[in-house]
Amino acid sequence: MKNQLLALLLLCLLIFSCTNKYAEVINLESDYQIIPKPKSLEILKGKFLVDEKTEINCDETLKNEAGYLSEILGLAIGKEVPIYSKRNKGNIILKLDDKVSNNEGYELFVEYDKVVISGKSPTGIFYGIQTLKQLMPTVIEKKGVLEGELTIPAIHIEDSPRYNYRGMHLDVARHFFPVTYIKKYIDLIAMHKMNTFHWHLTEDQGWRIEIKKYPKLTEVGGWRNGTIIGHSPGTGNDQKKYGGYYTQEEVKEVVEYAASKHITVIPEIEMPGHSGAAIAAYPYLSCFPEEPTDKNYSMLSEKSKALQKAGTPKVVYETWGIIKDVYCAGKEETFTFLEDVLSEVMALFPSTYIHIGGDECPKENWKCCPKCQHRIKNLSLKDEHELQSYFIQRMERFINSKGKKIIGWDEILEGGLAPNATVMSWRGEKGGIEAAKQRHNVIMTPSHSCYFDHYQHEDKDNEPLAIGGLTTVKDVYAYNPSPSELTEVEQNYILGAQGNVWTEYIGTEDYLEYMVLPRMTALSEVIWTPQELRDWDDFKRRLPNLIARYKALNFNYAGYEGGF
């Protein structure tokens, strides 16, 4: 009797699996290495087959997302995957659904006969597709043709991010990266379900964005006559002209590309410090226009020394560090210049936020500049810190008047915070905690956990040159952006976190990737996944799937504890 029953059961199974061989395949946990880890994940039986009968059905407003998915799948199977918006067509369904509560959240069902991705917004659908990609073979990352069948393991996921702000920064001023590469960087951000690209565009060592009213910003400020060799203060100067900039048309192209990947681009125009390149272009912006650029004169290029001798005192900086020659806060011309620059910048970037820097502004020049001192006296300011606060608050009023908001580094707390400012906390979390207590929005980028220009392995001698510090992948992963010192209400002011990539020592694309991968992968989980679901060993088990994707996409990456 027992044997007869067993035989009957086996027969049933055989018939069922002949009807659809993808219904009964039992999947392994290893098929589900998703990063960032979803909020809830239920493994189902079976697989979905992508083949010549596969069709996508989507709402009209999801054409961009459907097109993206169709291209990936179509290339993998070597056949077009058509898109319909008619009812009852298609076995991959993308649909907007108000039942998904988070604006960036999604629900994904993969079953043997259909795939359904629902989201409250197209962004949620896009993230559902990112997850779907991680369930497929890595060849789809390369947009290549798969040998054999393309199947997706069955699953049910409900997912949404922990924080609204999930960013990656890139300093393109110390070293320049062309538009083609910026797009690749944006792809990487999208793959990690991050939603913000913080584009650090101006510095002492280069001005990188075309401003039509002030052409010298890029003609002069976009180029330096050499760069120090080795770690600051350097062992010499390479004597090579270095630079580049983005035209306004290119900026628009980047912003549009990022938007198609659901990424907001926030430009940073530094003030009042880190303004050496603008001062080289327009020396009247300095407190002392006749005073030569002097940071480590002995390391200056021969070309710049000759220029200075011939009567051009200001040159674009060729060494790294904090520079005392900053925008004069006493002259009205400085504010006119910055308002003009920001007007052009704001017209290019739809982002609500404009980052205006505010960090590392020495007060030496302001202390001995008659115009700065006059402003302090006239406005009854206490000191130069209050003058910096005046500077930032005045720029905030201008930016707010155009319907935008400012972000500044945590130094903007000194001398009094601008009323509507968001603080980016980089010198640890102290500034962020203070700002949240003052009921200001905060983005956490503490250097100990979020600075990807730091070394990442203890054995620094066998690492390429980095700025210093030590931030391992594990350190990044261990970070919790919501400090326990804050009350629940105060924690609501923590918008999220960001990885920062300062490029003094990062001159190539290969090295940039080595510095960000897999640290940004760890950060993506910090800012997406609920804190209680995060586990380092579990993350390490899932990381190989992402590493395989870096390889498929030709991204360089660093080794990490337990694997390469």
- Rule CB under 5 A: is residue 330 a binding residue for Zn ion? yes
- Which range touches Zn ion (CB under 5 A), out of 2-10, 184-192, 371-379, 507-515? 371-379
With CB under 5 A as the contact rule, the residue among 56, 369, 515, 516 that binds Zn ion is 369
- Residue closer to ligand ACM by CB (options 299, 501) is 501
- With CB under 5 A as the contact rule, the residue among 271, 307, 328, 417 that binds Zn ion is 328
User: Out of ligand ACM, Zn ion, none, which partner does residue 473 contact, by CB within 5 to 8 A per kind?
Assistant: none
Q: How far is the CB of 454 from Zn ion (least distance, A)?
A: 34
Alpha-carbon dihedral of residues 244, 245, 249, 255, nearest 10 degrees?
120
Q: Which is nearer to ligand ACM, 104 or 429 (CB)?
A: 429
**361 versus 372: smaller Cβ distance to Zn ion:** 372
Helix (H, G, I), strand (E, B) or coil at 153: strand
Q: Give min distance, CB of 354 to Zn ion, in A.
A: 24
Strands 196-200 and 228-229 come out as: unpaired
The amino acid present at 520, given as its one-letter code, is M
Residues 6 or more apart in contact with residue 349 via CB below 8 angstroms: 251, 255, 265, 266, 267
Measured between alpha carbons, how far is residue 524 from residues 23, 170, 360, 458 in Å?
Answer: 33, 16, 28, 23
**Please, are residues 338 and 298 in contact by the beta-carbon 8 Å criterion?**
no
d(Cα 258, Cα 169) in Å, to the nearest integer?
A: 14
Q: Rule CB under 5 A: is residue 381 a binding residue for Zn ion?
A: no
| 83-84 vs 150-159, strand pairing mode | unpaired
Calpha distance 223→203 (Å, rounded): 11
In the complex with ligand ACM, which residue's Cβ is closer, 161 or 496? Answer: 496
Measure the CA–CA gap between 292 and 323, rounded to whole angstroms.
Answer: 12
Residues of this chain, 282-321, that bind Zn ion according to CB under 5 A: 287
Residue 359 interacts with, from Zn ion, ligand ACM, none (CB under 5-8 Å by kind): ligand ACM
Residue 117 or 361 having the CB closest to Zn ion: 361
In the complex, minimum distance from the CB of residue 324 to ligand ACM, in angstroms, rounded to a whole number: 15
Nearest position to ligand ACM, beta carbon: 359
Q: Which is nearer to Zn ion, 270 or 410 (CB)?
A: 270
Nearest partner of 174 among 227, 216, 214, 215, judged by Cα: 227
CB atoms near residue 563 (< 10 Å)? 12
DSSP string over 218-236? HHTTTEES--EESSTT-SE
371 binds, among Zn ion, ligand ACM, none (CB under 5 to 8 A by kind): Zn ion
Least separation in angstroms between residue 327's CB and Zn ion is 8
Closest to 176 measured CA to CA, from 292, 337, 316: 316
Closest CB 328 distance from Zn ion, rounded Å: 3
CB of 466 to ligand ACM, least distance (A): 14
Taking the C-alpha atoms of residue 33 and residue 281, their distance in angstroms, rounded to an integer, is 51
Minimum gap (Å) between residue 360 Cβ and ligand ACM: 5
Smallest separation (angstroms) from ligand ACM to the CB of 273: 9
Please report whether residue 405 would count as binding Zn ion according to CB under 5 A. Answer: no
DSSP string, 344-372: HHHHH---SEEEEE--S---HHHHH-HHH
Distances (CA, A) of 277 to 113, 207, 237, 395: 59, 6, 18, 20
Task: Give the interface with ligand ACM as residue ranges (CB under 6 A).
Answer: 359-360, 409, 426
* Binding at 287: pick from Zn ion, ligand ACM, none (beta carbon under 5-8 Å per type): Zn ion
* Total chain residues near Zn ion (CB under 5 A): 6
- Residue 516 contact among Zn ion, ligand ACM, none, beta carbon within 5 to 8 Å by kind: none
The answer to whether residue 372 forms part of the interface with Zn ion (CB under 5 A) is yes
| The token pair that represents 54 in the structure block | 């596969």
Least distance from C-beta 426 to ligand ACM, angstroms?
4
* Binding at 426: pick from Zn ion, ligand ACM, none (beta carbon under 5-8 Å per type): ligand ACM
Buried b (16+ CB within 10 A) or exposed e, 88-99: eebbbbbebbee
Query: CB–CB of 447/426 below 8 Å?
Result: yes
Task: Pick between residue 371 and residue 457 the one whose CB is nearest to Zn ion.
Answer: 371
Is residue 186 a contact point for Zn ion (CB under 5 A)?
A: no
> Which of 398, 433, 427, 399 is closest to 411 using CA atoms?
427
Instruction: Give least dist CB 498 to ligand ACM, A.
Output: 11
Nearest approach, Cβ of residue 249 and Zn ion (Å): 35
111/268 with CB nearer ligand ACM: 268
409 contact, one of ligand ACM, Zn ion, none, CB 5-8 Å limit per kind? ligand ACM
Q: Among Zn ion, ligand ACM, none, what binds residue 392 when CB lies within 5 to 8 Å by partner kind? A: none
The entry of ligand ACM, Zn ion, none near residue 463 (CB within 5 to 8 angstroms by kind) is: none
Shortest Å distance, C-beta 171 to ligand ACM: 9
Which of 127, 117, 126, 56 lies closest to 92, judged by CA?
A: 56
The partner in contact with residue 77, picked from Zn ion, ligand ACM, none with C-beta cut-offs of 5 to 8 angstroms by kind, is: none
User: How many Å apart are CA 555 and CA 188, to the nearest integer?
Assistant: 9
Q: CB under 5 to 8 A by kind: which of Zn ion, ligand ACM, none does 282 bind?
A: none
Closest alpha carbon to 562 in 455, 29, 32, 542: 542
Q: Which does 187 bind (CB under 5 to 8 A by kind): Zn ion, ligand ACM, none?
A: none
Residue showing tokens 């115009």: 371
Task: State how far the Cα of 44 lies from the Cα of 48, in Å rounded to an integer.
Answer: 11
Q: 45, 371, 385, 405: which one contacts Zn ion (CB under 5 A)?
A: 371
The least CB distance from residue 429 to ligand ACM, in Å, is 14
Separation between Cα atoms, residue 68 and residue 165, nearest integer Å: 24
What residue ranges bind Zn ion (CB under 5 A)?
Answer: 287, 328, 330, 369, 371-372
